Structure 1
Amino acid sequence: MPQLNPNPWLFIMLMSWFTFSLVIQPKLLTFVSMNPPSSKTPTTPSTTPWTWPWT
């Protein structure tokens, strides 16, 4: 069963992960986010109970 032979595929998978982790990911993390997180506390909206006509 050639699918169980990890010889070429393990190396390809490891090299692709190393490439992503060491080259691509730092470049992506340098971009400035267009929607930065804010330090405001979330406010809960005030809700009123719904009046059902059949109760």
Structure 2
Amino acid sequence: MPQLNPNPWFFIMLLSWLTFSLMIQPKLLSFPHTNPPTNKSPATTKTAPWAWPWT
């Protein structure tokens, strides 16, 4: 079965990952973020215990 032979497919996979890692990924990471993260502290809300009707 030819699909079990890793000779051509491993090289294609390795070449595509190297292309993505070295060329495409830095270009994508250089774009500005549309919604930058803020240093806003999370608001804590006080919760009350639930009054169960059968207790």
Q: What range is the shorter-chain TM-score in?
A: 0.7 to 0.9
Give unmatched runs, 5+ long, in structure 1: none
Verify: 1:34 aligned to 2:13, yes or no: no
Give unmatched runs, 5+ long, in structure 2: none
- Distance between the aligned counterparts of 1:46 and 1:2, measured in 2? 64
Residue of structure 2 in register with 1:21 after alignment:
21
- Distance between the aligned counterparts of 1:32 and 1:49, measured in 2? 44
Alpha-carbon deviation of 1:47? 5.4
Alpha-carbon deviation of 1:28? 0.3
TM-score (norm 2): 0.78
Alpha-carbon deviation of 1:44? 2.9
**Structure 1, 24-33 or 38-47: larger mean CA deviation:** 38-47
Structure 1, residues 25-47: CA drift from partner, whole Å, max 9, x if none?
00000000010010111113455
- Distance between the aligned counterparts of 1:35 and 1:45, measured in 2? 25
Aligned length: 55
Q: What SS does the corresponding residue of 2:39 show, helix, strand or coil?
A: coil
- Distance between the aligned counterparts of 1:10 and 1:31, measured in 2? 31
RMSD, aligned α-carbons: 1.4
Residue of structure 2 in register with 1:9 after alignment:
9
